[in-house]
Structure 1
């Protein structure tokens, strides 16, 4: 979730901030009222209604209304927002578009105020709205996930004391009881929604404004000493639209938690009154149909290699490469359900690395996914503990990304380091560890068994002199062997890693892509330290509480200062997450490996 911003006074926005506010509010209003995008005069007016919360405020405030947004409408909206800028005013928008010209009388014979939506002049809506009031962030995430599991995406607005989830429709619903029917259905299915959203005259909290209820004595949030003024904003966004019958059918697939006294049948759902599609809506439906399962044909592999530097991107199955290029609406949930188990079980990556990958993926999705939401989903799906190599590769995924082939990149693509190697680290040069890893990588990636000096220099990215100086430790300790090459061909000595090691002592595995990244981004000392940390945590990827003194001793460093500097550098480079925790009055460093 985005940061929740709280103030004790209503902020006064500068002029450039109001320009930004206008821009965001118009974007939102065009999403929930698509008729506002029409360039011609439209019969459906939309209301923005200000509601005073500050009892000392004497200004008379009129509602703002628009049929569409031309230059004059935009200028009027800015003027309207300037009038309430810095004042204790709540702002709402009409869920229904209404007939501005209709003169409507109340039961007592008085007129409804002109320019405001009411139950009589309401014409149509293009949204279904659910109000989740008075629940925690975690509770709301669970409610949202239930909708995502039905493949229903929502725009989510933080309202100050809860959240509002909005489902966009690809047509107009003229049934004035549609919000009531939707709220009752959501309640029956166990969603913790506010029962108040039921009538066509409903106005909903406007994002990119301020919730000032704490200034109003009539509300339970009133606080005369230290009022909490909340900034309302979107916490997730979608442009995906649905037919109302499609939404009701998906919700009806859930079991009832509360028995419905008058449940809607399939016939009732199909009979919900809707207006004929406008040309704009017909075009949107056609574009949506094309977009729903659009085959991904070309991606920029070189660009994505740089983005996903923690992966050996070119060796990934082509279908997975295409997924990581960003997923279209309607497929994102399925992609997460496939990718997270794939990254965990096939590639053996830690949860920290998976989160990093999935956040990069979320930024490339259409529309962009909130990073907090992505991290929460990784935790949830990772925690399900799927045993297979990947999640379900659905027919929709196949249509979008093609057939799935695993001939290049599997869990076997890891290097194996005998644990005996780590026992010699305290008396081994840092450069020797670099060379050993480089030779292991060459074996795994390219199948090299016998290395010339030039080969080692290439894989280790070192000079000939550096190679000759550091390989002596590996030869003397038996981790690397050498023999004469073919003299008749003019070959010098060739080198190879010792294929025999003590199986009782075990081994440690490192992902090829991780080793490749280490060789390019880390110093020799950092490579040595990261290797040893990998050996300590093993496959569990648990937190490492080992003391800096112990680490210094094991990798041949003089004191804990050098370990502190190296772990700080590894943290800055993103290889580990370093935290300092105080326990029994003593500070300890805790490390989590990110690769």
Structure 2
């Protein structure tokens, strides 16, 4: 028998012998149970000291006057999931300062959300405007209280991530940086991962500071993690715990790992000194595009908008009126002013042509003049292309539904910024109202229709055109602040697009069906006065249909007569909470039309933005919870 105390003893096995054959494989539940028995907790005091160091701006007594209401995000990710896809981002906390009150709130939040919960903790490298409303490229609003590419502000440190490297490789990185005279913190975040943190003397206003430094270091031969290239980058907090071992996805992670500091500095460096120290090194990878830092403090949102608007007005103010100049989104103005749009032209055209046609609703002639100016300024010589897109393209998505405002791609959003399309549509309506051939009286009153408008048995018998005329009368009554309308106010009305003879017929029909009653004045011009019967417009204890003037005008302007009638029915059912009780067959019965006609009407209303698809009901069509005024 071999002496087991000998240092030179090496066990040998035959080629067919597996020395670990009888070793039990630890399943996920056993692993979690073992980890829980010796659970490592975070060091909250260390975390607070660290956050103060990486974000000194939050301790500035003049923070608000200098920078605005900035804060940093503390993000946590759940790891204790057997599913190999498991990882869930919990609700983040925003730290605005390090006052005693804020520290107490942080500790309370930690006790509730982090302590003993097997999560990984991160902080936002840049601070951000947490209360700002920001929209992604698809027009959807970013999650409030989370840093994103739009609301990120500035950074007081540069963080580089070295992942999947050995201890020796890490020592070589430190030696190389030391030889350059650079001072930094070295944070060990896992058994084979480190962060190098350089603390800055002054804020760096370049939102791309982390992506730009990552590319610079990569180009000079440093094996930094190229995935760390986000404007809204987050990093692990010193004093927290790497709990990836709890995830079924990370089978190779066997133990928790306390995030520790191996190398420390209290020296802060000028960001350009740091940049130039690395930039002067020999280039190892010439294929990496290194972009210079922009350290100038950016204009505020208001200053930028004023500057771009003034420039846009110089170049396009003789084509578009002042109202369009004022309300066009900043991103669209920037597109028209961009004379370096190579690689973006096709995306721009596919968006802007549909946007001008469907949302701005300019005439074809005005469109050609506007795009002609753009072509002159940018040197674009395929003018027939954007005219062809206007004339031939359906501007539809993969489901065949027309884009209401053009297809705004992620590529465009990243270059020019996000667009809040709901607000845009509301602003455009105002422009349209301001530039009408005649001025409508401004009125804040609502148009109120009792639910009896649709519940009465005559609803399915009334013609589509009759219902459109009925709504027009309700609008005119509010605008003129009278209890009645006369025929001359309705016949030839700009929103009806109905011939005089037909309009007279619809008025007679409405009287016959009981929606209106007549009063004839035989003195003066003898015009007949049409009154809406009280039972259809008075407020009752039951729910009522309420539209503001712009909503109702938009219905008449954009919807066909049968669509107006169908939408009023849907609105009525939604208001009374009954819309889910009626399928296509039920709606068809109420209207006296076919089921296929109901489906066509729904698709048309979705395309025009009057109803939305409720995905929670397996793709059926439902009324939006909030009516959007276009």
| TM-score, with length taken from structure 2 | 0.39
Indicate the structure (1 or 2) with the bigger Cα radius of gyration.
2
| TM-score, with length taken from structure 1 | 0.41
